[in-house]
Amino acid sequence: MYALEANRYTAAWANLGKNLTLPDAILVISAHWLTRGVWATAMQRPQTIHDFGGFPETLFALQYPARGSPHLAQRVKTLLEPMTAVVLEENEWGIDHGAWSVLRYLYPAADVPVVQMSLNGSLDAQGHYDLARQLAPLRAENILILASGNVVHNLRLIHWQDDAIPYPWALEFNHFFLQAMQSNQHQALIDYESLGEVAHLAIPTPEHYWPALYPLALQQPGEKVTVITDGIEMSSISMLSFMIQ
């Protein structure tokens, strides 16, 4: 619903978009496209995917009509294929809500081409981190790499009230992630399951966590992490967002 209802998080994303250098294209890694192998959208006009149910019709009517970039999709394929095969998708997928719910605030005019890359469900956290490192040349090519997920994401224990009190384990895991990220302890974030029950409650399934590893893997020595937003909503959803620059 944040795609329709402005709040402090969406305001921060909108402000960020105004201050970033306009990229030539955007590569999005979203928690909502989990596949066998790695896929990338390669169509000229990706459709807006409404991959959810039970929400108001106005949300299903929302469109993000950004162009695609077959060139960027092919570039991703070239960069990643020394490690894994990449399938260029031109028919079934597009831009899902993990992407457009953020992009519509960053670039509301939808005037920057977008390619979405899937998460390979057969990889573990280390595998995703290692794969992400192969994308490093894109940073010198004016490509914005945007990863969308939640470092705490437990829908089974969610409280829908706006003023819901965060679970202690949600606060603990969010704090763990923030502290490790700011001190460049990437291996601790890759091995997050070592936290045991706290990690299991915060990340009952890993697909919403994996995207955060992609920008971390692309961090260069001396680069800082800037926290854009932070907070636990509905008791069990982290709204931590960050930028590496």
Indicate which CATH number applies to the domain containing 40.
3.40.830.10
Confidence of residue 59 (pLDDT cuts 50, 70, 90): confident
Angular region, 142: left φ>0, alpha ψ -120 to 50, beta rest: left
Specify which residues 38 forms β-bridges with: 86
Q: Which domain holds residue 228?
A: 149-245
Q: Does one domain contain both 105 and 205?
A: no
Q: Evaluate if residue 84 carries a pLDDT over 80.
A: yes
The confidence score (pLDDT) of residue 55 equals 76
Q: What is the pLDDT of residue 138?
A: 98
Tell me how many domains the chain contains. 2
How far is the first Cα of the chain from the last one, in angstroms, to the nearest whole number? Answer: 29
- Rounded to two decimals, the pTM is 0.95
Residues 11 and 119 grouped into a single domain: yes
Is residue 121 domain-shared with residue 239, that is, in the same domain?
A: no
User: Which neighbouring-strand residues pair with 147?
Assistant: 29
Pick the last residue of a domain from 129, 148, 167: 148
CA dist., res. 142 & res. 124, Å (int): 29
For the chain, what's the residue count?
245
pLDDT at 5: 83
> Are residues 195 and 138 part of one domain?
no
Tell me: do 75 and 114 sit in the same domain: yes
Q: What is the pLDDT of residue 107?
A: 97
- Assess whether 26 and 45 both reside in one domain: yes
d(CA 3, CA 50): 12
Whether residues 235 and 180 fall in one domain: yes
235 with 139, same domain: the answer is no
Q: Are residues 159 and 140 in the same domain?
A: no
State which of 88, 117, 148 marks the end of a domain.
148
Neighbours of 160 (CB within 10 A): 7
Angle made by CA atoms 69, 75, 80, in degrees to the nearest 5? 130
Q: Which residue in 16, 46, 74 sits closest to 227, CA to CA? A: 16
Model pLDDT, residue 162? 79
Of the residues 105, 131, 148, the one at which a domain ends: 148
